[in-house]
Structure 1
Amino acid sequence: MVRLIGIFAGLFFSLSVLWAFVNGVINVAPVVSEYGQFTEPTPEQFFHKHPEPLHLQSDGPFGTWDYAQLQRGFQVYKEVCSACHSLKFVAFRDLAELGYSKAEVKAIAAGFQVPGVDPNTGEATTRPGLPTDYFPSPYPNDVAAKAANNNAIPPDLSLIAKARHGGPAYIHAILTGFEDEPAALKKQFPDFKVPPTGHYNPYFAALAIAMPPPLVAEGQVTYAEGQPKPTINQMATDVSAFLEWTAEPKKVKRTQTGWPVLGFLLFATILAYMAKNQVWAAIKPKKKKPAA
């Protein structure tokens, strides 16, 4: 009995030493970079997270736009995101594709101030937007944008869903991923510190993002009656879907057009194969003479 206990104790001790060794190698040993050079491990390599898939109605080869969701997403952008981010490649008249009437598009455009010229003095000024105008930047120039955002320029969101790996899923993860620095990060990398003007977000490549959490409370945006409850997750999902539309508004039409094209190509291929057989049916291949 004593011998059996000794065997188990020795086995437990050996496994503990092995686990400590493997854990030390993973956490302390240098890693190989993409250029084949040994480098010290970085916090980003261990604590950067990849976004979970965001299942939208527009996904897949048979996807369609959820126009109610796109309108909710535009509402979130207008009431929250437009304070810092522009949509310089989207015109107000494009919103008609989301189901807004001409009067509604005109009213939305008039709610924005766009750059203009005073006809009397010729000086630069601002005026209410028109349906033909594009969404303006909230800042007159990059210097003003930096001054208002701790020396960081908020990116334009027109093509953000195409410019970031993961698209809408990345946007959703960033909007909902703000959290406190994990204790393991502080313990493993004591020199890593989030800047005073930054915020920890594991879905951002550098772990620290200059943008503060834009969605901070349930009901921050009031949806119309009959719409889903405006939780932080719901608002982030809706605006992510809207930004996917701004980046590729013809996505659904493109996939819907692709199926008839594929059908035609398949039919043409079969027809060509049958025609080939018909043309060459009367021509018999010559038989090879057996070797002597």
Structure 2
Amino acid sequence: MARILSILVGLFFTVALAWSFGLGFYTWATDPAAPTAEHEFHLHPKEVAFASDGAFGKFDKQQLQRGFQVYKEVCSACHSLNHVAFRDLAQLGYSEGQVKAIAAGFQVPGVDPTTGEANLRPGLPTDYFPKPFANDVAARAANNNAVPPDLSLMTKARHEGPAYVYSLLTGFQAQPAELLKKFPDSKTPNGLHYNPYFANLNLAMAPPLTGDGQVEYGPGNPKPTVDQMSKDVSAFLIWTAEPSLDKRKQTGLAVTLFLLFATVLGYMAYRNIWAGKKH
């Protein structure tokens, strides 16, 4: 009796699941979802190339230094780099003295040795980049109720991360008239900014790069246009997300060559050992 009951219960749930699946499929086929502004006007990231792309790509240290300069002078006012220490900047080609000077230019949380009270002190090479806001409440108050994300792993956390960051920085624009005509209720709310490369088309971040020459590059560097600065800071964020990328590629190439050599050697040994043998 118990066996028959368990079979009936299982059969009931199987039929219920099949019915739900069939009903859902029928609804999807006969009553498609209404079009949305996000679906029709959200754009795929732009095509952009970086020196580190591909199996043989390598970081362009000069570009990474330019990207760090853009981050320091523009992005660091709102975005943190929680996983990057000042001493890591030596990988970009900065000298020990330059790293110390960069670190000292930031105020990091510390403790007064005489009173034991929390305070702020100049950074040291061993410190990590400090957060720009004391807490999320302060961050929301300064950014239209949005908390600016940490950028350390941004190019890994987003699909086509480097292209996404570049597209977002260069994608701020006025809402298309076609969008407002087709979706009158999709007008960008006050305090937000239209950007077709963002998932819901509107974000709290104002355009951070507002014009050419906003960051002054030194001699021997390309002109600091909005497009160039966007590429440079995107390249820098590729490095923050994976600083060992160059070494990983070198190791991968060496391992691949070794495996190819071992495969050929193994095949030749096999042919030599079994050349005179018959199955």
Which category describes the TM-score, using the shorter chain as reference length?
A: 0.7 to 0.9
**CA-CA distance at 1:85 after TM superposition:** 0.3
Structure-1 residue corresponding to 2:268: 274
Q: Please point out which of 149, 162, 171 is paired with 2:165.
A: 171
Q: CA offsets per residue over residues 127-170 of structure 1, 9 Å max, x none? A: 11000000010101111111111110000000001111111111
Equivalents in 2 of 1:173, 1:270: separation in Å?
45
Spell out, residue by residue over 1:176-229, the C-alpha distance to the aligned partner (whole angstroms, 9 max, x if none): 100000000001111112121110000001100110000001110011012111
What residue is the counterpart of 1:192 in the other structure? 186
Unaligned residue ranges in structure 2 (runs of 5+): 1-25
Quote the offset at 1:280 in angstroms. Answer: 2.3
SS of 2:184's equivalent?
coil
CA distance in 2, matches of 1:34, 1:127: 60
CA distance in 1, matches of 2:254, 2:220: 36
Q: What does residue range 120-135 of structure 1 map to in structure 2 within 5 Å?
A: 120-135=114-129
Q: Deviations over 1:8-58 (max 9, x none)?
A: xxxxxxxxxxxxxxxxxxxxxxxx999997311111111000112211111
Change in Cα spacing, 1:183 to 1:267, as seen in structure 2 (3 Å) is: same
SS in structure 2 at match of 1:114: strand
Does residue 145 of structure 1 match 2:120? no
> Alignment identity in percent?
65
**Which has the larger share of helix?**
2
Q: Do the aligned residues in 2 keep the contact of 1:33 with 1:39 (CA within 8 Å)?
A: no
d(CA) in 2 for partners of 1:94, 1:228: 25
Instruction: Give 1:167's aligned amino acid.
Output: G
- Find the counterpart in structure 2 of residue 234 from structure 1: 228
Q: How many residue pairs align between the two structures?
A: 254
Structure 1, unmatched stretches of 5+, are: 1-31, 286-292
> What SS is found at the alignment partner of 2:120?
strand
After TM superposition, the structure 1 = structure 2 runs for residues 79-228 of structure 1, keeping only pairs within 5 Å, are 79-228=73-222
Q: Label 1:36 to 1:160 Cα distance change in 2 as closer, same or farther (>3 A).
A: farther
Q: Please tell me whether Structure 1 or Structure 2 has the larger radius of gyration of its CA atoms.
A: 1
- C-alpha distance in structure 1 between counterparts of 2:222 and 2:151, whole Å: 24
User: Does the C-alpha gap of structure 1 residues 220 and 260 become closer, same or farther in structure 2, counting only changes over 3 Å?
Assistant: same
Name segments (4+ residues, structure 1) moved above 4 Å: 32-37
Question: Which amino acid letter does the alignment assign opposite residue 92 of structure 1?
Answer: F
Alpha-carbon separation, structure 2, partners of 1:88 and 1:35: 47
Aligned-partner SS, 2:243: coil
Q: CA deviation at 1:282?
A: 3.4
Relative to structure 1, the CA distance from residue 191 to residue 33 in structure 2 (aligned partners, 3 Å threshold; closer, same or farther) is farther
